[in-house]
């Protein structure tokens, strides 16, 4: 027995609130930033295109998150931070959650293909499949590399935004993809360090449980070094200018400083949870501000 209720319990929580929670709106808000900012970096999109891509992107990512909750319903029931989700709490049937997720993804695919272009729809759908099957179904429970490889799912939004405006992809879009890809491990490992007891209870092989805390922190440093190089690379081939360069330098310095502070505390045998929380929360702001700097820099250059 997993502890999942056989029938949804009658609670005062409205169905609409549960459906919204299935989409994980807080996570999607950052994904939308990394979708919309590249649209303005790529050109001057009309407001209707931005609106359609935003709605389609939300539905696609929300659908993926709902299917993720369906597939993870057994471990969600044993993890403290996920126990109150609609399925483990008994408020919704698993099949309802699955149907909702698939319906969102289907509607998003139609919207993006019909009103934007097929490439945009295909890229968004690829992100959906990567998150559901490569990360959730395969890597999450089998390898400490789950976040490294599975993180590619969260790197599709910049490609979606760029393709929505240009109808194609180029080296700038690839750089944005790689920036999110290499940002994901240090961002998520900061949370994994703090929630390793939960992951251990659910038998999810997150990096701190397999490699140890110190090695995970070392890996965070090296991934951040690669991330810094990637954020500066677009300046070298002229994609962005001085405003973006200055923003990237400041943002990178703060991120690396926070990770090193966490590592030094661990080496000295001092509490490192405070710096780890700072890194996790700041990394969210870091990515949003970095992509906003891209769009503003290109807007000023036109």
Contact call for residues 162 and 49 (beta carbons, < 8 A): no
Lowest mean pLDDT among 40-54, 72-86, 112-126, 173-187: 72-86
Contact call for residues 100 and 22 (beta carbons, < 8 A): yes
SS3 26: helix
- pLDDT tens, position by position, 212-260: 999 999 999 999 999 999 999 999 989 999 999 999 999 999 999 999 9
Q: Which residues contact 276 (CB under 8 A, 6 or more apart)?
A: 190, 193, 194, 262
CA 7/CA 93 separation, integer angstroms: 7
- For the segment 174-198, the average pLDDT, to the nearest whole number, is 95
pTM, 2 dp:
0.92
Task: Please report the pLDDT score of residue 202 as a whole number.
Answer: 87
Task: Please report the pLDDT score of residue 84 as a whole number.
Answer: 87
CA 169/CA 18 separation, integer angstroms: 36
Task: Please report the pLDDT score of residue 12 as a whole number.
Answer: 53
Contact call for residues 82 and 199 (beta carbons, < 8 A): no
Q: Which residues contact 101 (CB under 8 A, 6 or more apart)?
A: 22, 62, 63, 64, 65, 66, 67, 68, 69, 70
Integer-rounded Cα radius of gyration of the chain: 20
- Where residue 90 falls (left for φ over 0; alpha for ψ -120 to 50; beta otherwise) is left
DSSP single-letter state for residue 116: T
Q: Is the pLDDT of residue 33 over 80?
A: yes
């Amino acid at each position: 027995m997993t502890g999942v209720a056989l029938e949804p319990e009658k609670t005062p929580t409205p169905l609409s609130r549960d459906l919204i929670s299935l989409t994980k709106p807080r996570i999607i808000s950052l994904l939308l930033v990394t979708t919309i900012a590249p649209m303005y970096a790529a050109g001057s999109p009309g407001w209707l295109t931005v609106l359609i891509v935003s709605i389609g992107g939300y539905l696609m990512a929300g659908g993926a998150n709902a299917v993720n909750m369906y597939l993870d319903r057994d471990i969600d029931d044993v993890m403290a931070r996920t126990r109150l989700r609609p399925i483990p709490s008994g408020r919704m049937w698993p099949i309802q959650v699955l149907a909702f997720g698939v319906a969102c993804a289907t509607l998003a695919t139609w919207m993006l293909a019909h009103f934007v272009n097929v490439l945009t729809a295909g890229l968004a759908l690829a992100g959906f499949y990567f998150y559901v099957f490569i990360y959730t179904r395969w890597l999450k429970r089998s390898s400490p590399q789950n976040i490294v490889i599975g993180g590619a799912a969260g790197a599709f939004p910049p490609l979606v935004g760029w393709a929505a405006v240009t109808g194609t992809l180029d080296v700038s879009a690839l750089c944005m993809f790689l920036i999110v890809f290499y940002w994901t491990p240090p961002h998520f490992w900061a949370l994994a360090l703090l929630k390793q007891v939960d992951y251990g209870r659910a038998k999810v092989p997150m990096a701190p449980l397999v490699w140890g805390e110190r090695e995970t922190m070392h890996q965070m440093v090296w991934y951040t070094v690669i991330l810094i190089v990637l954020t500066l690379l677009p300046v070298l081939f002229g994609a962005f200018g001085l405003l973006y360069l200055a923003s990237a330098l400041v943002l990178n310095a703060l991120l690396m400083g926070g990770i090193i502070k966490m590592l030094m505390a661990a080496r000295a045998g001092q509490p490192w949870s405070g710096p780890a929380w700072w890194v996790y929360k700041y990394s969210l702001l870091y990515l949003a501000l970095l992509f906003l700097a891209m769009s503003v820099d290109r807007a000023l250059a036109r």
